[in-house]
Amino acid sequence: MYEFLAVGPGIKQTWRRRLPSREAIRLGRAPKDGWAVPWDMRISREHADLVLEDGRLRVRRLATARNSIYLRGEAVKEFTVGPGEEFRIGQTVFRLDEVPSEQAAVARPPQPPVADAEASWADFSGRSERERLQAVLARLQEEETRLEQPPEDERSPGGTPATAQARELDGCAFEVYEIVERIHRSPTGQVLKARHRYLDRWVAIQILSSLATSQEAIARFRRQAVLTAAFDHASIPRTYEAGQIDGLHYRIMEYVDGRTLASLAVRRKLSVPAAVGYVLQAARALAHAHQHRVVHRDVHPAHLLLSRTGAVKLIGWGRAWSPGPSELDQYKGAGQVLGTPGFMAPEQRTGGCPADPRMDVYGLGCTLYALLANQALLPPDWRSGETSTPDGGLAPPIRDVRPDAPESLETVYQQMLAHSPDQRWPSMAAVIEALELTL
């Protein structure tokens, strides 16, 4: 009798199965019909075929498998092993064992996911690091399975998924990174927390959703990577790498352990000095971008991350503008509006106006109001071009919602939100100098 043993790096990441003779068995992370190794993201969904013949196990790597199979330290595609010999895929070691008939294990069905898929992603209290990682990867695997089976109305007539089907997110695409958990998900993609195995550095891996298949979405994603890679500022997360693997567009960037200022302001009232301090950090990041002739065009509290150390990081560069030819030029349309309602400058709402750093001055002024008032400075009808000050007068006074704000801050704020760009602060450097004097 022969058994096949799989041993992963974590607690309870192991199983043993009885091997039938001369019968092909599919091995993978989640094969349709075969033996699953759900804990190892470096093993492809279907990775290899196993056949036991005359006491030796023949192993053949599938052409679709992304990661290599290692036998005695060398990458191999097809080989045989005898009892007691091992081979490795990703972080999992496999071994053929010969056992007496009376001790042979009964073949076990695949185990269910380790964690309840309906539980919160953050519900890991009381677990060891290994158990937490195991639960996260199991949930990732389960959600990927659901993504690969779209509703019937999204399938082609032949029953196969249409072009919008989500592709498999296989951790082995990022060989040197250990994927730990998903930290953000939206219709346009997801962000994963990962650790560089050799540098012991935490990173965030941004993945463009395979559902975002338009050439404009892909071009904007690439543009964001190019622009942020050129920055070198403490308040802008660094981009380490970007590229495409088998149609999967990704960006690897600095990981920020914290929350957005939008979520923070909802939970508690910010003091005036704290809010001004956060806005100042964002202003310095924008000044750095303006020096590189880049206009953000989408400044608001949800694009400001606050780390546990109190550092503010400006994100959300997908709508940024810079001079020179770009593959995005072909998607420009007359009157096209780019920005977030409630944080766009009047000239930005009408569309068609050239990007100007003073748009960011206005957006940052709206952000200051939102942080202190716990509400956005929304115009009545941003699509029609009307502003919150239709007569071109003063913006709603900040001291009406925060009487503890100094008059000097009111003056700076009003000039940031001037209706005409020519009446605003001329540069972000001037905003920084004026805000510093209010503290």
CATH number, domain of 88, equals 2.60.200.20
Are 218 and 330 found together in one domain? no
Last residue of a domain, one of 48, 77, 103: 103
Are 220 and 286 found together in one domain? no
Token output for 223? 């543009």
pLDDT score of 118? 29
Residues across the chain = 439
Are 29 and 80 found together in one domain? yes
Are 242 and 264 found together in one domain? no
Tell me the angle at which helices 357-373 and 272-291 cross, rounded to the nearest 10 degrees: 160
pLDDT score of 190? 87
Domain membership flag for residue 123: no
User: Which residues have a Cβ under 8 Å from the Cβ of 191 and sit 6 or more positions away?
Assistant: 182, 183, 184, 185, 204, 205, 206, 207
Closest of 439, 50, 152, 390 to residue 275, by C-alpha: 439
- Distance between CA 268 and CA 259 in Å, rounded? 13
What residue type is 202 in one-letter code?
W
pLDDT score of 189? 84
Q: To which residue do tokens 């543009």 refer? A: 223
* Cβ atoms < 10 Å from Cβ of 317: 23
More confident position, 378 or 179: 179
Looking at the 3D structure of the chain, how many domains does it have?
Answer: 3
C-alpha atoms less than 13 angstroms from C-alpha of 269 in its C-beta half-sphere? 6
- To the nearest whole percent, how much of the chain has pLDDT over 90? 46
Are 401 and 267 found together in one domain? yes
Given a cut of 50, is residue 26 above it in pLDDT? yes
Are 358 and 223 found together in one domain? no
Q: Is the full-model pTM beyond 0.85?
A: no
Are 230 and 274 found together in one domain? no
Domain membership flag for residue 231: yes
Closest of 12, 7, 9, 194 to residue 114, by C-alpha: 12
Are 250 and 381 found together in one domain? no
Given a cut of 50, is residue 137 above it in pLDDT? no
Domain membership flag for residue 108: no
pLDDT score of 10? 67
Are 249 and 360 found together in one domain? no
Closest of 60, 64, 36 to residue 48, by C-alpha: 60
pLDDT score of 390? 40
**Quick one: DSSP state of residue 91?**
T
Question: Looking at residue 292, which CATH number applies to its domain?
Answer: 1.10.510.10
Are 32 and 179 found together in one domain? no
Supply the mean pLDDT for the chain.
Answer: 78
Domain membership flag for residue 135: no
Domain membership flag for residue 165: no
Are 95 and 58 found together in one domain? yes
- Read off the pLDDT of residues 93-113 as tens digits, 9 standing for 90 and up: 899 998 876 554 444 444 433
* Cβ atoms < 10 Å from Cβ of 38: 22
Domain membership flag for residue 150: no
Given a cut of 70, is residue 281 above it in pLDDT? yes
Are 291 and 390 found together in one domain? yes
Query: What average pLDDT does this structure show over 259-287?
Result: 93
Q: Which domain range does residue 12 map to?
A: 2-103
Query: What average pLDDT does this structure show over 259-275?
Result: 90
